[in-house]
Amino acid sequence: MTKSEPKQKLLAKKSHSISGNVSVPGDKSISHRAVILSMISQQTTKIFNILDSTDISRSLNTAMNLGIECKKKDGFIEIKGNGLHGLTSPKKELYFGNSGTAMRLFMGVLAAQKFPSTLIGDTSLNKRPMERVALPLRNMGAYIEMENDHAPVQIYPAEQILGCKHTLSIPSAQIKSAILLAALYANSETAVTYNSITRNHTELMLESFGRPISYNDHEIKITNGELKGREAITIPGDFSSASFLILATLMSKDSEILIKNVGLNPTRTGFLKILQMMGGDITVTTDPNSNFEIQGNIKIRSSKLQGINVPNNLISLSIDELPLVFLAAAFANGTTTIRNASELRLKESDRITAMAKLLTKLSIEVKELKDGLIIKGGTITGGEIDSFGDHRIAMTALIASVCSKSDILVHNTTNIDTSFPTFVKTMNQIGMNITEQDI
């Protein structure tokens, strides 16, 4: 049984300039992984700067439903790890809301347990493809059932999880991570090979939790066995959240901001390279004291952007930020082409069609392709926008107001809480004017 979320609408008035020194909340992808690895490690872990959002609450609630003690303390979350085999059978379905990351990563862990489990999400998540994760896990011996490629996902105890060699046919960090988590329970070493680089947060965190793992641009090898764990871990600021501030500043007149302590993992920052290719004035300073994840500061100044053909190798390194690339293209002079991005059709919404409709509504000339968009830069008008139930579409539409001719009203924006619950407060802090409207 799914749950419905209340609706909300936000109005973004045309703003003048943006300025300030700001931080963004903890990284969502890394927060999910910190919860899961702490849960199955052999010690208690304190997680600092964990993202306090709806999606991360799904991971924490799932951990507690599996018998893990999670306590919210002053400034951190404390998770008491029970080891790989210390989870207990859940008394009810495991509900993941809108979080595809949480559902897919937990599939990797739950596939190796000696008890059955049922994974379910909200209406949106229950439409997203899950067979892509189940298939490689079945090849490792997992017993997983679902109908028509969608949740509910039924997982039953497997006789044995097998270590083997996988070739990723889809460039997805979630699929890769599910395999690596299941590999901890395997009877031998597991290897994953791939052609496209995707975010490597799972590899870095497994290494930091004491699991022998080797990886390069084409292959990962991991040995089975327990995680020693960490006493404490600090989550860097979320680069995907910072991306909204970055583009808003570039598109605003006479603007400059400094974003502090944000994650700069090179498998996540393709968006910066794309914007710099378009002419964005962006300066990155890396913190020499970065721990398991690179982090630092980003300074951004107003810029005139030029249309480009986005290189294929940057698509998987900017997959969550591509709606913002589409908006940058609308603001830029000339034409921008984004191809090889068909994965966007399988996100919280079909982000190719959603952004084509959004930009068309804002009077931008767009040609929709099977795997991307061709966008001719122009003058962005205001208007009313539907978020399609997608947090990134909602936030992208709202920041378009910094260079629009008139206000932008976005419907169905409650979903923003899944990844960036302080979005409105943060954007208003640097000079935007976003207010909640009566339904």
Radius of gyration for the alpha carbons in the chain, expressed in angstroms and rounded: 21
In whole angstroms, what is the distance from residue 55 CA to residue 52 CA? 8
What is the side-by-side strand order in the sheet with 143-147? 94-95, 117-120, 150-156, 143-147
In whole angstroms, what is the distance from residue 345 CA to residue 415 CA? 18
Q: Copy the structure tokens of residue 241.
A: 């959240």
For 57, phi then psi, to 5°, come to: -60, -30
For residue 110, give the 3-state DSSP assignment. helix
In whole angstroms, what is the distance from residue 290 CA to residue 380 CA? 39
For 409, phi then psi, to 5°, come to: -105, 125
Select which of 320, 386, 390, 417 is catalytic.
Answer: 320
In whole angstroms, what is the distance from residue 434 CA to residue 15 CA? 9
Q: Backbone dihedral region of 388: left (phi > 0), alpha (psi from -120 to 50 degrees) or beta?
A: left
E strand map for 87-195: 94-95, 117-120, 143-147, 150-156, 165-167, 190-193
For residue 235, give the 3-state DSSP assignment. coil
| Residue pair 424/11 in contact by the 8 Å Cβ criterion | no
- 281 catalytic, yes or no? no
| Residue pair 275/234 in contact by the 8 Å Cβ criterion | no
Q: Which residues fall within 8 angstroms of residue 1, CB to CB, at 6 or more apart?
A: 93, 120
Handedness of CA 47, 51, 57, 62 (dihedral sign): negative
In whole angstroms, what is the distance from residue 166 CA to residue 387 CA? 36
In whole angstroms, what is the distance from residue 149 CA to residue 334 CA? 40
| Residue pair 35/246 in contact by the 8 Å Cβ criterion | no
In whole angstroms, what is the distance from residue 176 CA to residue 196 CA? 12
In whole angstroms, what is the distance from residue 327 CA to residue 403 CA? 11
The residues carrying an active-site annotation are: 320
